[in-house]
A and B are shown apart, each in its own frame.
Chain A
Amino acid sequence: MTEMLLTVRGLRKSFGSDESAVPVLAELAFKLPAGGSLALMGRSGSGKSTLLNILCGLERPEAGELILFGQDYRRADWQQLRRERIGVVFQEANLMPTLSLLDNVRLRAALAGQPQSRGQHWLDTLDIGELAQRFPDQVSGGQRQRAALAMVFAMAPALILADEPTGSLDRVTADDVADSLFRLQAETGCGLILATHDPELASRCQRTLDLAHRAVDRDAGPPLP
């Protein structure tokens, strides 16, 4: 039996106070094996980002089970996990605007306790080695996302959470960035959970979880006529 990176059962989350609470996630269950990849799909507002936030400890679930690296989430040292094992990539603004691309990668590596000297290596691996001294505003959106990936891989993560990592890129660039992501994920053998609206990108993951149909709509009953 393969080792599970992540096991989720009966996860529930809503926002707001008791009466006006808006359920976002309800009775969610899935598993992610080591080295596996999972795409989260669903229309806007279905809770993809919320789920990713829960998985990296930035939000707390209301109920349910969440076992991460064989440990219950309530006992997890989330700071340490985020620092060293879980890499997060957002749609944009993943870099410190005041630091060069290389310094960004080195900062992320240093926080993870990884050698800073590998910073240039990761930029090279992502084909932006010659942009190392540029600042985020001096490179294109696609190059910024590559730099964001370089930062994540520089920390040698066990799990990558990516929230629409190619959401603001054009088709060709998005494919390029996705290529790099999947290639390095395969090489390093880390897990990947990726939220996206793009079916093509989702199809490159081993499994897809459609939140829109699994969670809110089902529990809210049939849609009104």
Chain B
Amino acid sequence: MFKNKILGAIALSSLGAAALAHNGATGVVMERMMGMSAMRDVMKDLAPMMQGQVPYDEWAVRDAATVLQSHAGDNMARLFPEEPIPASSFAKPEIWSDWARFEALSEELRLYAEGLDIAAVNGLDVPVPIAAPAPPSDEMAGMPGMDAATMPMETPPETFTVEELMGLVARADQNAATIAAPTADGKITGIDFEVTAADDVFERISQTCASCHSLYRKGN
């Protein structure tokens, strides 16, 4: 009896904690927060791996890619039905005035997650643990002979041109859809995931999360 009460109290308080963790959200808002949180958890595990700080594990990457896929695309978009935004939610109303773009970003995430599954076998561009390697351009990653073995740390210098810095042209290391282009159609052109390093794809994924959050999520 007593034991049951304790268990009950523990169950209640952990429920309370779960609800608090999501700001008291319920229903579909709770559901999308759980999906986002599941993605957060895999990103947390992947980030140190992608920086070479912990050993690379292809199968862990592929599992993570599956989790991301399952929460992206339509599976994400359908959890954002147009409705008054409850106080528990950090969603911005622009989601619905800009629906095509929002949907395109969630689809972009799905495509990149699919890409990560394919690219997982390629491992990292920069095998040595360093703080945060410069992102090599896709062309480099795709070029024969330009792999880590022949070019150990020779990632191109991470400098941008004046045109890129001033915002006159999109930066070469990101695809246009991700940098807040007015009409993102979610198509990923010109990336061959079979020859792209996993950390490159991972960075595109984080750019997609960031793009969507900057447009449609209030800071928490």
Report if A and B associate in a common complex: no
List the interface of chain A (C-beta within 8 A of B): none
Interface residues of B (CB under 8 A from A): none
